[in-house]
C-alpha cells in the first residue's frame, strides 16, 4: 500500500510539473505568437468578435488619426497622399495587406485586452464596446514626403528607424495604393501594390552586405586593416568570373582598382577585394558573422512581422562563396533587416528590435500597451563597429555614396547595386545613418530595376534625412 501511495504521489507531481510547463508554454506562446494568431485569416473567433466591437483609432506618433470608425465603416486619413503613403503599415478593410496594424494589432483595436470592469461598464450602459486607440511610432508627414521623392514608376521600399530605441519612423512599400479606392487596375497591377516590400520583400543585398563581410574580416583577422589587396578587375573561379561595377567583358572594358586596403575597398565597393576576403574567411566564418547580424534567424518581433533573411547553406563552391562576400549569390534580406544592420553599426554594435507601437489606450484611459525598447542582439564589438562607422562615413565623403552627403552633417552609408537575372537594371540600394547625437536615425532604401545605388538610392536618402533635420528630428 505504501508503495502505491508513493507511486500516486510521483504521478501527481509529474502531472503538476507538466501542467506548469504547459501553462508556461501557453503564456510564452500568447506573448510571442498572440498577435500572429489573432491576425490569421483562420481565426473565426476574432472575426466574430469584431462584429461586436467598434474598432479603436490608429494614430501616428504626432497624434494624427490614420484610421477611425464612422457610422460602422472604417475610414482612413483624409489626405490622399498620406493615406497611400502609410497604407502598408495601417492595412486596409479587406486585409489585402498582410499583417498591417488593422489586423496584426487587432487585439488592441478590438478590445481584447479590455478588463472585466470595462466590459461590464459598456454592458450596463447598453453601449457597443470600443477598442483601444493605438498610437504608432511612424510619422505620417515623413511618410508622405518620402513617397513624394521615391521614383514614381518604380517598385521598392524605404525604412527609417531610430537606431538607439528601435522605433520605426517610416516603413513604406512601392507602389502603394489608396485603401478607400481599390480599383481593378490596383488588383491586377503586375507590380503587386498589396505586397509590403519593406518587410516581406527578400532582396539580394548586393554591396550593402559588404558591411557583414568587413565585420567578419575585422573579427577574424587581426591585421586586416593593414593588409593590401590586389584588384585586377576579374577573378576567375571555376565557371564564375567576379567583376566590378562598370565592367563589360564583351566590350573588353574592365574596371580595375589596383592595390588597395580594406578601407579603400569599402569606399569604392570593390567586388574583387570582398570576394577574396570571403575565400580567406571561408564559408563557415562568414556565415557565423552574418548570423550574428540576424541572417538565418526566425524573426519573432512583438510589433511587426518581418520575413527571415537568408545566408545560403547549399551549393557552396568557391564561386558562390566569393560572390557572397561581394553581396550576391543566394543571399536574401528585407529592407527592414538591412536598416537594422546599419543601425547596429551606428549603435556601437547593438542591434535593437524594431518597434511600431507607442501605446494602446482604452476609451476609459486604461493603458494596455506602452512603448519599451528591447535589444535584439549584440552583432559585433564596439571597437569593430567604430571601424565600420569610419568606413561608412568615408563612403559618403569620398566613395560611392557622395550623393547622400549633406553639408555640415555627418552622414554614413553603404551603396549597393544588386544584380537580378530577370531585370534589365540592377536593384539600387543605400543603407546608412546620421552620425549626429541628437538625430539617431538609420535608413534603408531599395529601388527595383533602377541602376546604381550611388546614383539612384543615395540621393533619396539625402532628401529624407534633410527633411527630417528640418522638421523636428534634430534638437
Look up residue 76 and give its three cell numbers: 482612413
Contact 103, 95 (CB under 8 A): yes
Q: Which residue has the cell 485569416?
A: 41
Calpha distance 447→201 (Å, rounded): 12
In sequence order, the 6+-apart residues with CB closer than 8 A to the CB of 176 are 84, 85, 87, 88, 147, 193
8 A C-beta contact, residue 379 and residue 292: yes
What DSSP designation does 253 have?
Answer: B
Any idea which residue has 512601392 for its cell? 174
- 168: cell is 520605426
DSSP secondary structure letters along 380-447: S-HHHHHHHHHHHHHHHHHSTTGGG-BTTB-EEEEEEEE--TT-SSPEEEEEEEE-BTTB-EEEEEEE
Which parts of the chain register pLDDT below 50? Answer: 23-32, 37, 40-43
The pLDDT, as a whole number, for residue 30 is 45
Per-residue pLDDT at 28: 43
pTM, two decimals, is 0.89
Helices (H), 77-183: 80-85, 87-90, 101-104, 106-109, 116-125, 140-149
Give the integer Cα–Cα distance in Å for 1 and 23: 33
Query: Which region holds residue 258: left if phi is over 0, alpha if psi is between -120 and 50, else beta?
Result: left
- pLDDT, residue 359, reads 97
Q: Which residue is it, cell 483624409?
A: 78
- Largest separation between any pair of C-alpha atoms in the chain: 94
- Contact of 229 with 265, CB cutoff 8 Å: yes
Q: What is the DSSP letter of 193?
A: T
Q: Is the dihedral of CA 342, 347, 351, 354 positive or negative?
A: negative
What distance in Å separates the CA atoms of residue 429 and residue 416, rounded to the nearest whole number? 5
Amino acid at each position: 500500500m505504501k508503495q502505491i501511495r508513493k507511486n500516486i504521489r510521483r504521478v501527481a507531481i509529474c502531472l503538476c510539473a507538466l501542467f506548469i510547463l504547459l501553462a508556461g508554454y501557453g503564456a510564452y506562446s500568447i506573448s510571442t505568437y498572440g498577435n500572429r494568431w489573432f491576425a490569421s485569416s483562420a481565426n473565426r473567433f476574432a472575426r466574430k468578435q469584431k462584429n461586436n466591437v467598434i474598432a479603436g483609432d490608429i494614430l501616428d506618433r504626432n497624434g494624427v488619426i490614420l484610421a477611425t470608425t464612422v457610422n460602422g465603416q472604417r475610414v482612413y486619413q483624409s489626405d490622399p497622399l498620406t493615406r497611400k503613403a502609410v497604407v502598408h503599415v495601417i492595412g486596409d478593410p479587406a486585409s489585402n495587406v498582410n499583417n498591417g496594424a488593422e489586423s496584426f494589432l487587432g487585439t488592441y483595436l478590438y478590445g481584447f485586452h479590455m478588463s472585466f470592469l470595462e466590459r461590464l461598464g459598456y454592458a450596463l450602459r447598453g453601449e457597443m464596446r470600443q477598442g483601444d486607440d493605438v498610437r504608432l511610432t511612424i510619422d505620417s508627414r515623413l511618410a508622405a514626403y518620402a513617397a513624394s521623392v521615391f521614383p514614381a514608376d518604380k517598385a521598392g521600399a524605404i525604412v527609417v528607424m531610430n537606431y538607439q530605441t528601435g522605433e520605426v519612423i517610416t516603413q513604406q512599400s512601392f507602389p502603394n495604393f489608396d485603401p478607400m479606392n481599390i480599383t481593378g487596375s490596383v488588383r491586377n497591377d503586375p507590380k503587386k501594390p498589396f505586397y509590403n516590400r519593406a518587410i516581406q520583400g527578400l532582396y539580394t543585398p548586393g554591396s550593402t552586405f559588404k558591411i557583414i563581410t568587413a565585420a567578419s574580416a575585422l573579427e577574424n583577422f587581426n591585421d586586416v586593416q593593414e593588409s593590401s589587396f590586389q584588384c585586377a578587375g576579374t577573378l576567375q573561379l571555376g565557371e564564375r568570373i567576379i567583376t566590378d561595377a562598370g565592367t563589360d567583358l564583351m566590350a573588353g572594358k574592365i574596371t580595375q582598382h589596383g592595390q588597395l586596403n580594406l578601407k579603400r575597398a569599402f569606399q569604392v565597393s570593390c567586388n574583387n577585394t570582398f570576394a577574396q576576403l570571403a575565400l580567406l574567411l571561408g564559408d563557415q566564418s562568414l556565415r557565423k558573422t552574418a548570423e550574428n547580424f540576424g541572417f538565418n534567424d526566425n524573426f519573432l518581433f512583438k510589433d511587426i512581422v518581418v520575413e527571415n533573411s537568408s545566408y545560403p547553406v547549399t551549393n557552396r563552391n568557391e564561386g558562390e562563396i566569393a560572390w557572397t562576400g561581394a553581396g550576391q549569390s543566394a543571399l536574401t534580406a528585407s529592407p527592414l533587416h538591412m536598416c537594422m544592420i546599419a543601425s547596429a553599426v551606428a549603435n556601437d554594435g547593438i542591434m535593437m528590435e524594431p518597434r511600431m507601437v507607442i501605446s494602446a489606450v482604452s476609451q476609459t484611459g486604461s493603458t494596455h500597451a506602452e512603448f519599451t525598447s528591447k535589444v535584439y542582439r549584440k552583432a559585433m564589438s564596439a571597437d569593430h563597429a567604430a571601424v565600420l562607422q569610419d568606413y561608412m562615413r568615408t563612403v559618403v565623403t569620398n566613395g560611392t555614396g557622395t550623393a547622400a552627403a549633406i553639408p555640415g552633417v555627418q552622414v554614413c552609408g553603404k551603396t549597393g547595386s544588386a544584380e537580378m537575372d530577370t531585370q534589365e537594371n540592377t536593384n539600387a540600394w543605400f543603407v546608412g545613418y546620421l552620425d549626429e547625437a541628437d538625430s539617431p536615425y538609420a535608413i534603408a532604401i531599395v529601388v527595383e530595376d533602377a541602376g546604381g545605388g550611388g546614383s539612384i538610392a543615395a540621393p533619396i536618402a539625402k532628401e529624407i534625412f534633410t527633411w527630417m533635420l528640418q522638421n523636428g528630428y534634430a534638437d
